[in-house]
Amino acid sequence: MAMQISTSTAGDKAIIRLAGRFDFNDHRTFKLNYEPLLLLATVKTLEIDMEGIEYLDSSALGMMMLLRERSQAVGKTVVLCKPSSTVAQILDIANFSKLFTITK
């Protein structure tokens, strides 16, 4: 299933919900969804809800790294939330816990 993205804001937090396959084909869509959130002065944290991700490849990891860099440049943080056990293993192998806060 192609990735589906939805966004919302609540107070100082923006939530990006991802579902399906997160891979190279989603680069443009992912970027188009997070860029407006980086411009919101009220948003301090971008929460990536990963609960619905079925598949994650190395380009998706790169996209999250790019989001982290762009977020830091404007004083925001990125939190990865609710990864499935398979996605959590990939994040662990990639040492993402050293770069991101990851919550269950």
Q: Each residue of 30-73: pLDDT tens digit?
A: 999 999 999 999 999 999 999 999 999 999 999 999 999 999 99
Q: At what angle do helices 58-73 and 27-38 cross, to 10 degrees?
A: 20
CATH of the domain at 77: 3.30.750.24
Q: What's the domain range around 21? A: 4-103
Q: Each residue of 5-20: pLDDT tens digit?
A: 999 999 999 999 999 9
pTM reported for the whole predicted model: 0.93
The two most distant CA atoms of the chain are separated, in Å, by 34
Structural domain count of the chain = 1
**Beta carbons within 10 angstroms of residue 29's beta carbon:** 13
DSSP 27-53: HHHHHHHHHHHHT-TT--EEEEEEEEE
How big is the CA angle at 61 (ends 58 and 63), to the nearest 5 degrees?
115
